A and B are shown apart, each in its own frame.
Chain A
């Protein structure tokens, strides 16, 4: 039931709005029925209590009649004992009362005509007898009067008493039956009320559950699906049983998924083509460029040999331009390789300090070009590093060459430290310069391919805007990162962090960390 009911609600071909209103009205209808049942029960209780009080009235009337019968016999006996007119009068008076009792009885026993008929006959006989006795007493025929009293009136009164007793018993038995009926009715109405209450609550919960899960289920499915789409998974469709607005929404989501998937595939293909084209192009360009550079070097040597010094500066310019072009092409090739996911890491163990010394040698001409000073601060505990040395070298070279490029008559400082945090050893290198610096705005654009701080800078300093993009990609590939701090007109500091031990191609990382243990503790 847990599953089929929400499904049923979902499949119902009505709008969510209609379904919600429907559930609401179902609950309201139940409440109304519940109210009606309670009213019914209450009116039953009311009716029974009325019937009971009617029975009580009956019993009262019977008892009154019995009492007056006894009083009558007593009256007659007294009249006989002291036959004064006053006594006789009082006995006759009681006869009237008697008639009144009978009328009352007739009123309260409308449902027991037969028994009342018998009582009435007996009573009329009794009244007749009493009248006779009274008359005999008046005529002073006491003996006859007393005989009549003993032989007729007393047995008649007995019978009458029994008859009225029977009526009392009947009334009491009726009361008992009513009590039973009342108890039964109480039990049933209690169960009915409990049943209705439980039923209503149950139904309300059930309806609430069914409606909400028929709404929430699809919403959650679609949410999950959207999450997957966001992470680039277009392989599935969301399936909901709903035939309402949510069903339509799910259909639209699936359609959107398909469109996005197609679009993504097209973009992917285009990107792949671009990368392929770039790498092909670079390769095709590099071959003639290398030839140009080679020949320009050869020509320079030849010009020196033949002592034709006039050509040398031109040839050197050709060679420099060629080298610049080659660098540019290499950068583009690197970037397209990265984008195509074709870059591989070849980690090896090397001495960090040696690497830094080597690079400082390489960048020396760049330093001198703008009359800068290079300061290198290497921590003593740098030790060995396990990483792709070419990429590390390229990163440091990029940072240093940028610093040289944007600084004049300043100082470029390289700080290399080993820091052990997050359970691993890191190499942290900062390249700080005292050059032109960057504004907040300029910094925001950093690390994007082909992006330079602004057009003026591009014109003044040249460059392609690829260096930092590649640098960051390399850093991240090796499990590290790069950050920048800069103040416009004051200088810039780039800090990159790389793990000392790149994940080993064979997965053997433990030995390296173990060998580093000493330096770590130091």
Chain B
């Protein structure tokens, strides 16, 4: 099924590509393109990017025209579900990915997945929604919670960090149900679940329907809103063997982030057109893309995100390595630091 999806992606011509490049020019991203021209060409013309269903990864899916500008001719999107993420790197199926930092960190240590963090991607997007019986996060003690359909997935790990932050033991104090998202939403409506931890489009729909109360919105609630949610990473070998390609690809995706941040509605339409999200979710996707503060990648220090989550994960025992060790082993900020200057960023 994954292959089918990937092939479907490849067969599909990226019709909006040119139009988006036009848009990029329109919103004044040309100076970077000019810079790209004097740089040596990428070591490889082929690049394989991960894709899966989260709407927040929109800039990744829409980066194709920018990647072409950077000299990539063979751009492939490979469908990789969360469960197969570490394997995809181990089997060398993908070169670049974006993913929820906590999950990636967990896999890096647990599965020895051969990849490194390269840059921040976006802030927020996850939300913790409680039923009427729950007034605060600490009220969740002994309650039933849906935190994703599988253990140690993104929602579960993020939820663990959030409850551990206020002193609950995510393993002992919470009862989990591991069901599919739609079933979980039904159970929540029926009062069988006390809280939901989810990324868009799920929370937006519930809030719009006035079901439940927002306990934590990681887009705005501190400390979570002060750190990246999803981050970009690359295969260690790819980074090592293709430094120029890595930098160029990163630049293309950063431009794409800026684009989505400025044109969330257009980006949402593209996601629908590519059937990455369902038609029925359109308005929630647009809302989500509008709410996600994509511009923050210019302000937040990605290393501090890793450090922060490493601290939180160590609190819950999900990570053994200490933060600095983890940063030393699993991150490579050389590219983003160079690009930072190009983009005129001084915030970190």
Contacts and interface: CB of A to CB of B under 8 A. Distances in A.
B325 A172 contact: no
Given A159-B347, A165-B304, A173-B311, A180 B325 contact: yes
B261 interface: no
A173 B308 CA distance: 8
A485 interface: no
A447 B203 CA distance: 126
Interface in A147-206: 159, 161-162, 165-166, 169-170, 172-174, 176-177, 179-180
A179 B314 CA distance: 12
B343 interface: no
Contacts of A172: 311, 323
Contacts of B307: 166, 169-170, 173
Interface residues of A, number: 14
A169 B304 contact: yes
A173 B322 contact: yes
Contacts of B223: 165
B311 A169 contact: yes
A179 B315 CA distance: 13
Contact of B323 (A159, A162, A165, A173): A173
B181 to A, nearest CB: 32
Interface string B297-319: 00111001001101100100000
Contacts of A169: 304, 307-308, 311, 323
B322 A177 contact: yes
Nearest to A165: B226
A174 B325 CA distance: 10
Contacts of B347: 159
A187 B346 CA distance: 43
Contacts of A162: 226, 299-300, 304
Contact of B324 (A165, A166, A173): A173
Given A159-B299, A162-B226, A176 B304 contact: no
A162 B324 CA distance: 19
A166 B227 CA distance: 10
B322 A179 contact: yes
Interface in B315-339: 322-325
Contacts of A176: 310-311, 314, 322-324
Nearest to B301: A166
A174 B324 CA distance: 7
A161 B226 contact: yes
Contacts of B301: 166
Contacts of B324: 173-174, 176-177
Nearest to A155: B299
Contacts of A170: 304, 307
A66 to B, nearest CB: 11
A170 B322 CA distance: 11
A166 B327 CA distance: 14
B336 to A, nearest CB: 16
Interface string B115-157: 0000000000000000000000000000000000000000000
Interface in A196-218: none
Contact of A166 (B304, B314, B322): B304
15 contacts: A159-B299, A159-B347, A161-B226, A162-B299, A162-B304, A169-B304, A169-B323, A172-B311, A174-B324, A176-B310, A176-B322, A176-B323, A177-B322, A177-B325, A180-B325
Interface of A: 159, 161-162, 165-166, 169-170, 172-174, 176-177, 179-180
Given A166-B304, A172-B323, A176-B323, 16 more contacts: A159-B299, A162-B299, A162-B304, A165-B226, A169-B308, A170-B307, A172-B311, A173-B307, A173-B310, A173-B311, A174-B324, A176-B322, A177-B323, A177-B324, A177-B325, A180-B325
10 shortest interchain CB distances as A-B pairs? A173-B323, A176-B322, A166-B304, A180-B322, A169-B307, A177-B322, A177-B324, A173-B307, A169-B308, A173-B324
